[in-house]
Amino acid sequence: MSPEALRRRMAHGNVYTSDKVDAALSNYFRPGNLTALRELALLWTADRVDEYLRKYRGEHNIRSTWQARERIVVGLTGGPEGRTLIRRATRLAEKGAGGEVLAVYIARSDGLTAASPKELAVQRTLVEDLGGTFHHVIGDDVPTALLEFARGVNATQIVLGSSRRRTWQYVFGPGVGQTVARDSGPDLDVHIVTHGEVAKGRGLPVARGARLGRSRILAAWTIGVAGPACLALLLTHVDADLGLANDMLLFLALTVAAALLGGFLPALASAAAGSLLLNWFFTPPVHRLTIADPKNIVALVVFLGVAMSVASVVDLAARRTHQAARLRAESEVLSYLAGSVLRGETSLDALLERVRETFSMESVALLEREDEVEPWTPVASVGPHPAARPEEADADMPVGDRLALALSGRVLPAEDRRVLGAFAAQAAVVLDRQRLVGEAEEARKLAEGNKIRTSLLAAVSHDLRTPLAGIKASVSSLRSDDVEWSEQDRAELLEGIEAGADRLDHLVGNLLDMSRLRTGTVTPLMRVVDLDEVVPMALGGVPDDSAELDIPETLPMVEVDKGLLERAVANIVENAVKYSPGGVPVAVAASALGDRVELRVVDRGPGVPDEAKDGIFEPFQRFGDAPRGSGVGLGLAVARGFVEAMGGTLGAEDTPGGGLTM
- Where is average pLDDT lowest: 20-24, 106-110, 441-445, 526-530? 106-110
Q: How far apart are CA 650 and CA 636, in angstroms?
A: 9
pLDDT of 63 > 80? The answer is no
pLDDT of 248 > 70? The answer is yes
Sequence letter at residue 442: E
pLDDT of 659 > 50? The answer is yes
Question: Nearest 10 degrees: CA dihedral of 402, 333, 145, 163?
Answer: 170
Cα diameter, the chain:
154
For 268, residues 6+ apart whose C-beta sits below 8 A from its C-beta are 224, 308, 311
Averaged pLDDT, 187-212:
62
Q: In terms of C-beta density within 10 A (0-12 exposed, 13-18 middle, 19 or more buried), how is residue 593 classed?
A: exposed
Percent of the chain scoring above 70 in pLDDT: 80
pLDDT in the model for residue 67? 60
| Exposure b/e, 507-541, CB count within 10 A at least 16 = b | beebbebbebbbeeebebebeeeebeebbeebbee
Averaged pLDDT, 284-294:
69
Q: How far apart are CA 329 and CA 117, in angstroms?
A: 9
Please check whether residue 461 is in contact with residue 378, taking contact to mean a CB–CB distance below 8 angstroms: no
Q: How far apart are CA 603 and CA 581, in angstroms?
A: 9
Predicted confidence band at 563 (pLDDT cuts at 50, 70, 90)? confident
pLDDT of 240 > 70? The answer is no
Comparing C-alpha atoms, which of 148, 170, 146 is closest to residue 159? 146
pLDDT in the model for residue 478? 85
Please check whether residue 70 is in contact with residue 92, taking contact to mean a CB–CB distance below 8 angstroms: yes
For 642, residues 6+ apart whose C-beta sits below 8 A from its C-beta are 513, 517, 522, 561, 564, 565, 567, 568
For 490, residues 6+ apart whose C-beta sits below 8 A from its C-beta are 478
Mean of the per-residue pLDDT values for the chain?
A: 79
| Exposure b/e, 391-413, CB count within 10 A at least 16 = b | eebebbbebeeebbbbbbbeebe
Q: How far apart are CA 476 and CA 481, in angstroms?
A: 10
Sequence letter at residue 633: G
- Read off the pLDDT of residues 211-239 as tens digits, 9 standing for 90 and up: 455 677 788 888 888 888 888 888 887 76
pLDDT in the model for residue 174? 73
Q: How far apart are CA 589 and CA 243, in angstroms?
A: 108
Strand-by-strand arrangement of the 586-593 sheet = 547-550, 586-593, 596-602, 660-661, 653-654
* Side-chain half-sphere exposure of 494, counting CA atoms within 13 A: 7
| Three-class SS state of 212 | coil
pLDDT in the model for residue 207? 36
Averaged pLDDT, 418-447:
84
Averaged pLDDT, 581-607:
88
pLDDT of 74 > 90? The answer is yes
pLDDT in the model for residue 456? 57
pLDDT in the model for residue 158? 92
pLDDT in the model for residue 629? 45
Q: How far apart are CA 292 and CA 295, in angstroms?
A: 9
DSSP characters for 491-509?
HHHHHHHHHHHHHHHHHHH
Residue ranges covered by each domain of the chain: 3-59, 71-203, 214-322, 346-425, 524-661
Q: What is the pTM of this model?
A: 0.41
pLDDT in the model for residue 599? 93
Please check whether residue 162 is in contact with residue 145, taking contact to mean a CB–CB distance below 8 angstroms: no
Averaged pLDDT, 96-104:
81
pLDDT in the model for residue 344? 61
Comparing C-alpha atoms, which of 437, 355, 366, 357 is closest to residue 400? 366
pLDDT in the model for residue 346? 60
Averaged pLDDT, 482-510:
82
Averaged pLDDT, 625-649:
72
CATH class of 524-661: alpha beta
pLDDT of 97 > 90? The answer is no
Phi, psi torsion values for 408, nearest 5 degrees: -125, 140
Highest mean pLDDT among 6-15, 92-101, 398-407, 598-607: 598-607
Highest mean pLDDT among 15-29, 359-373, 440-454: 359-373
pLDDT in the model for residue 517? 65
User: 282: which strand partners?
Assistant: none
Q: How far apart are CA 248 and CA 246, in angstroms?
A: 5
Predicted confidence band at 199 (pLDDT cuts at 50, 70, 90)? low
Please check whether residue 602 is in contact with residue 571, taking contact to mean a CB–CB distance below 8 angstroms: no
Please check whether residue 523 is in contact with residue 565, taking contact to mean a CB–CB distance below 8 angstroms: no
Q: How far apart are CA 133 and CA 53, in angstroms?
A: 20
Handedness of CA 623, 628, 629, 631 (dihedral sign): positive
pLDDT in the model for residue 436? 87
Neighbours of 214 (CB within 10 A): 8
pLDDT in the model for residue 50? 73
- Read off the pLDDT of residues 167-181 as tens digits, 9 standing for 90 and up: 655 555 677 888 888
pLDDT in the model for residue 444? 83
The Cα angle at residue 298 between residues 292 and 299, in degrees rounded to 5: 95
Domain 71-203, classified CATH 3.40.50.620, yes or no:
yes
Q: Helices 142-152 and 176-183 sit at what angle, rounded to 10 degrees? A: 50
- 602 or 163, which is more confident: 602
Please check whether residue 157 is in contact with residue 70, taking contact to mean a CB–CB distance below 8 angstroms: yes
Q: How many residues does the chain have?
A: 662
Q: How far apart are CA 142 and CA 157, in angstroms?
A: 17
Sequence letter at residue 78: G
Q: How far apart are CA 643 and CA 90, in angstroms?
A: 38
Q: CA Rg, the chain, in Å?
A: 41
Averaged pLDDT, 322-327:
70
Alpha-carbon distances of 539 from 570, 626, 661, rounded to whole Å:
6, 22, 17
DSSP class of residue 407 equals E
Q: How far apart are CA 516 and CA 520, in angstroms?
A: 6
Predicted confidence band at 86 (pLDDT cuts at 50, 70, 90)? very high
Averaged pLDDT, 73-88:
88
pLDDT of 627 > 50? The answer is no
Q: How far apart are CA 426 and CA 339, in angstroms?
A: 11
Please check whether residue 592 is in contact with residue 565, taking contact to mean a CB–CB distance below 8 angstroms: no
pLDDT in the model for residue 662? 93
Q: How far apart are CA 274 and CA 303, in angstroms?
A: 9
Averaged pLDDT, 203-216:
48
Sequence letter at residue 417: R
pLDDT of 642 > 50? The answer is yes
- Read off the pLDDT of residues 468-490 as tens digits, 9 standing for 90 and up: 888 888 888 888 878 888 888 88
For 639, residues 6+ apart whose C-beta sits below 8 A from its C-beta are 567, 568, 569, 571, 572, 650
For 75, residues 6+ apart whose C-beta sits below 8 A from its C-beta are 85, 104, 106, 146, 158, 159, 160, 161, 176, 180
Sequence letter at residue 457: L
pLDDT in the model for residue 587? 92
| Exposure b/e, 172-186, CB count within 10 A at least 16 = b | eeebbbbbbbeebee
Q: Helices 117-129 and 82-94 sit at what angle, rounded to 10 degrees? A: 10
- Where is average pLDDT lowest: 404-418, 543-557, 646-660? 404-418
